[in-house]
Structure 1
Amino acid sequence: MKPSVGRIVHFHTSNGPAAAIVINVHSELEVDLQVFHADGSIKWVTDVPAGVAVGCWDWPPRV
């Protein structure tokens, strides 16, 4: 899948994945996100690489 503006992805934190919306696409492997944390805080993160490590984004699993 290719990331596009408005898509929902996971942003990996040290506490597990957080929901995020793609705000800008730099490439298929790098995006800017608006991240929604479980405590209600919202964070803007830029130049986020794709991956499963902390600080990276990935697609949510299909269920």
Structure 2
Amino acid sequence: MKPSIGRIVHYRDTEGKTFAAIITWVLDDVVNLAVWNEFGRQFNALNVRQGNGAEQWDWPPRV
């Protein structure tokens, strides 16, 4: 699936925690994200690539 502005994704931080995020900007395979932590505080993640490693985003699993 191709990323687009407004899509909800998961962002993994350097500690391996997964947070909800919204794509705010897309350029090829790099995105900027508005991310919410477990306390509901928002922060930005810039120039993020897709993947399942630290500081990467990925699509939420389908259940």
TM over 0.5: yes
User: Which residue does the alignment assign to 1:61?
Assistant: 61
Given the two structures, how large is their TM-score scaled by the length of structure 1? 0.91
CA contact (8 A) 2:16 2:54 kept: no
Gaps of 5+ in 2: none
Deviations 1:6-59 (A, max 9, x none): 0000000224210000000011x2100000111121001110011111100000
1-structure distance, mates of 2:45, 2:17? 16
Gaps of 5+ in 1: none
2-structure distance, mates of 1:56, 1:15? 10
Let me know the Cα RMSD of the aligned residues: 1.0
Q: How many residues align?
A: 62
| Structure 1 range deviating more: 17-26 or 7-16 | 7-16
Runs of 4+ aligned residues of structure 1 deviating over 4 Å after TM superposition are none
User: Which residue does the alignment assign to 1:22?
Assistant: 23
